Chain A
Amino acid sequence: MNAALGLVGQLARFAGAMREHGIRVGLGDEIDAATALTLVDLLDRNEVQRGLRIAFKVPRDAWATFDRLFNAHWDGTAADDVPVPPPAYPRDHRGAQWRWDGARVRLVLPESERPEGDEPGYSSEAVLRRKSFDQLSAGEIAAMERLLVRLAFRLAARRSRRLVPTRGRGVVDLRRSFRHALRTEGELFRLARRARALEAPRVVLLYDTSGSMDPYTRFHLAFAFALRRVIRRLEIFAFNTALTRVTQAIAPAKIPQSLERLAEGVPDWSGGTRIGACLAAFVADCGALVGGDTTVVIVSDGLDLGDTELLGRAMRALHERARMIVWLNPLMGDPRYEPTQAGMRVALPHVDHFGPAHDLASLERLLRFLD
């Protein structure tokens, strides 16, 4: 410990190191930790460690990191000695530009950011094929919308256990009945009733835009457009090597403009995939979008170039929060397909419905599952 900083200064530095290593602690936690330090025996190293872990509210899966950082701080070695894990995905795409050369869209990265090597999955000149976008016909979208209206209704058809006032049938609500009765000198003329509330569905669509998904792009864009029209509380994210929120870009009334915006907004379209890193980023940054009433729909072939352990952790976190996880895999359209890719195998235990998604018939199957 550095005595010059004082205990509070030390604590602030320690909290900073925790944040740097991905443990989320806020100012309130620091205050709690400082208070805890006034209560524990400061000469008992184990007790200080336990007390800080409790006061900083360190979740179980971050204990190992916490203990490492604690040891480093207590022994006087700087926190910099503890290796900082690399960021889960490149967050910053500043300086990158999309160029339209008449036939295709290219992503132009500034010189310094150009990735090294020529791994096929992470090519810097990600190509967005405009052709497949153009074939998105209005008729197809209309057909899909009809199907999705039914689908959305299924997603919404869950009744909450919470009771809300109703004019129809339901259990007697004495509190409200009695309020009414007061107006008529205590005579109960009409019984107020309550029934279980109908939940508005919330859907998060996570769509894989990597190169291996290209043949299905057209269909899935139609899916996204239709879904956007029928479900009010919908968030759409595109992911490949990075995660991009595209909810605003997808406006059903303006399909051509939407496609332009998508082409501009989604980096590395048709590039490689890091599903694990992207889902982990989603959980970390946008986890609040997923609650007990949220259905998460992941559209991906599960061909992951990244870390499958990361994928497993992210899927488990999602599964704990979400009401349901649906994984649509276009490869399943092939009857010989078996989910043997490492990525798919880790993800499957956390998926409630795993089904194909390459044509309308496969969506009908999803509908039957929701029944």
Chain B
Amino acid sequence: MNEAIRALQAAMERDGYVAEPAVATAVYLATEMRKPLLVEGEAGVGKTELAKVLARVLGTELIRLQCYEGLDANTALYEWNYQRQLLRLRIAEREPHDPAALEDLIFGREYLLERPLLRAITRRAGPPVLLVDEIDRADDGFEAFLLEVLSDFQVTVPELGTIAATHVPHVVLTSNRTREIGDALRRRCLYLYVEHPSFEKELRILRGKVPGLDERLARAITRFVQALRRRDLRKLPGVAETIDWAQALLRLRQDRLDAEVVGVTLGCLLKDEHDLRQTVDAALAELVAHASSPG
């Protein structure tokens, strides 16, 4: 394995992120090739966390743009500070002024509110990590706009002119695949698909994230969740859910799994009514027995 990738993997692990070789390789290639990294995978496999860890490992700022339906360029890029502009005009009324100079003044950088995308390309102290979270929730129009920003790394503000990037940020895009991402954007990025973790990986994550958890219980929890994921459920529990559940069991001072305590805490793992109803009684007893068996 490439030394740099191994080092990156170790650095991420020190920061509490258990990165498989594929994840470390993708992050390494994305930072070296200066390409955005598109991360897809089920909910709760740590896609957003990846960007946060990357920012910490690189020792830089994380700038996050949360996408939603109806997100537009104003919210993502820049907005003028109208209140301040109006105030400045009111003040100007009381003194003699040159209209052209005044206009230049109130449409200066000082009155510009930088939104995540603009902030990411104009940050002075080195390139930040730009996290475009849940890009699948934004509409096609925004995707096209984002593509433009990500290919040119410059932004045109009509009143100000073109602002070029001082640094090319490290871009991480995440998607839950509620909508298929357009081919053009996909081609622009490197692509990483994150799967639910293996037993060993999940156990390591659990040890790292929930200190004080009994080793035997940690194994039982992991085995239970892994078995649960093999069932036919609408929403499979992610690692985030496993951690929540472990913490709940820790608070309840449980040192082993039994059907009763699992029954009352199952809401930490399953967040769909249909799934909860599916996993009762017989199914639950079987899962608990499986989880508690040594090996």
Contacts and interface: CB of A to CB of B under 8 A. Distances in A.
Interface in B31-54: 32-33, 35, 38, 40
B95 to A, nearest CB: 14
Interface string A102-113: 000000000000
Interface string A32-67: 100110011100101100110111011110010000
Interface residues of B, number: 44
Contact of B70 (A46, A50, A162): A162
B233 interface: no
Interface in B183-200: 183, 186-187, 189-193
A196 B89 CA distance: 31
A39 B187 contact: no
A26 interface: yes
The SS class assigned to the A binding surface is helix
A292 B178 CA distance: 10
A35 B28 CA distance: 12
Interface in B48-69: 68-69
Contacts of B93: 185-186
A320 B180 contact: yes
Interface stretch (A116-124, A174-182, A220-228, A270-278): A174-182
Contacts of B192: 54
Contacts of B191: 54, 57-59
A29 interface: yes
B28 to A, nearest CB: 7
A201 B103 CA distance: 42
Contact of A161 (B69, B82, B180, B190): B69
Interface string A125-157: 000000000000000000000000000000000
A57 B187 contact: yes
Interface stretch (B18-26, B250-258, B260-268, B284-292): B18-26
A321 interface: yes
A292 B179 contact: yes
A163 B72 CA distance: 8
A186 B86 contact: yes
A102 to B, nearest CB: 49
Nearest to A182: B103
Size range of the interface on A?
35 or more
Contact of A160 (B32, B40, B70): B70
A252 interface: no
B90 interface: yes
Contacts of B156: none
Interface in B153-203: 177-180, 183, 186-187, 189-193
Given A54-B26, A54-B191, A321-B180, A40 B21 contact: no
Contacts of A39: 2, 28-29, 32-33
A291 interface: yes
Contact of A55 (B29, B79, B177, B179): B29
Given A39-B33, A178-B80, A321-B180, A54 B90 contact: no
B139 A292 contact: yes
B33 A36 contact: yes
B5 interface: yes
Contacts of A50: 21-22, 25-26
Nearest to A35: B33
B140 interface: yes
B190 A55 contact: yes
A307 B79 CA distance: 53
Contacts of A317: 180
Contacts of A59: 191, 193
B85 A161 contact: no
A161 B70 contact: yes
B74 interface: yes
B108 interface: no
B125 interface: no
A28 interface: yes
Given A186-B86, A292-B179, A162 B139 contact: yes
A272 B264 CA distance: 54
Nearest 4 interchain pairs by C-beta: A161-B70, A57-B191, A186-B89, A41-B2
Interface of A: 24, 26, 28-29, 32, 35-36, 39-41, 44, 46-47, 50-51, 53-55, 57-60, 63, 160-163, 174-175, 178, 182, 185-186, 188, 196, 291-292, 317, 320-321
Interface of B: 1-2, 5, 21-22, 25-26, 28-29, 32-33, 35, 38, 40, 68-70, 72, 74, 79-80, 82, 85-86, 89-90, 92-93, 103, 139-141, 177-180, 183, 186-187, 189-193
Given A32-B190, A317-B180, 4 more contacts: A57-B187, A57-B189, A63-B193, A292-B179
